[in-house]
Structure 1
């Protein structure tokens, strides 16, 4: 499937993407669209096209599979992302990471701010940086504001793994990848993750690879 023509109006770009059925192609690190702040959504897509685009993002997220996809990850520089997490992890992992199921939802023009000073560090990956994971220390609790796909505003506090997900996806909309916030010495291939670092928390990885975790 061809990537959208970035010189065309955004609606045309999205129409080009949706011309074929199935998951949308996910762009990888190095694509300029991943490094540029996105445009605020202000009706660039009419309601019907927006609904089709949101559904395509949902299909793409499920097919990857992932727990979130942001519009720039499919080449569209709009401030829109989708998230969903069935949290299919062992109970011990869920407890340590604060990972609880999250229903499908659409984030339009989201922004976040830390609530308190507590930070949590865990391995994190990205569909646009395939094959690797790294430890990222993030605020353990954030306040997220924005709108849904129908223009209804929200102002919510997220904690645990859901807070990590919404921070990760909102960062995409600001032209950031998780690697920008990661501990460089923690970078690990998926193979190394499976062999060495499957523990619920990265304490052992920090000792073995030589990096610090937040207090």
Structure 2
């Protein structure tokens, strides 16, 4: 368990962040907090402060908007993330990417491991790397273990796009950005994405930009 003296700085940091209403500022690539492994959550925030912090993460994720947000993205080096995806996409995209709605979830001290060897590659973006997207090959199915915000254990298998979200957000907690896993020849501005790469899968982008898919 964390000692009281160890808990104070993180609690104070969160209290400072929550001193103003509205979405929290999102750290952009280049901020050291995004490149450091986070501290496992072990009661550093009391129940009331943790609840307020989770609410702020949810508000910030919705305002961005995004489908996931990790604590270090708002400058807090704790192993906590939130995810939620209403999946408002066309049917052909849903089928190609396995993107189905996901309810709001809190992931406390998450880790994942691949289930099987199948991998899928799609364009990804990140709230901490605004304006750009790139193709990332990830495990198509993963087993997530963590706790929820009430300390209850979670052990669940995710497939398709939900599995991608779990991997993306958990990677943040290990100091990784999606660009670390991306095919850099695929890196595209949001404008290029809108004009050229709106297809459900990145096959055309791979052929045009000169990179391979798994």
Q: Please confirm whether the aligned pair reaches a TM-score higher than 0.5, indicating the same fold.
A: yes
Q: Which residue of 1 aligns with 2:62?
A: 62
Any stretches of 5+ residues in structure 1 without a counterpart?
Answer: 1-7
Residue 52 (structure 2) pairs with residue 52 (structure 1): yes
Q: Which residue of 2 aligns with 1:91?
A: 91
Q: Which residue of 2 aligns with 1:201?
A: 201
Any stretches of 5+ residues in structure 2 without a counterpart?
Answer: 1-7
Q: Which residue of 2 aligns with 1:76?
A: 76
- How many corresponding residue pairs? 207
* Structure-to-structure mapping, 1:1-215, within 5 angstroms: 9-214=9-214
CA deviation profile, 1:93-113 (whole Å, cap 9, x unmatched): 011000000000100000000
Moved over 2 A (4+): none
Following TM superposition, by how much is the alpha carbon of 1:190 offset from its aligned partner in structure 2, in angstroms?
Answer: 0.2
* Whole-angstrom CA distance in 1 between matches of 2:58 and 2:146: 19
How high is the TM-score relative to the length of structure 2?
0.96
How high is the TM-score relative to the length of structure 1?
0.96
* Whole-angstrom CA distance in 2 between matches of 1:190 and 1:28: 16
Over aligned residues, Cα RMSD in angstroms? 0.5
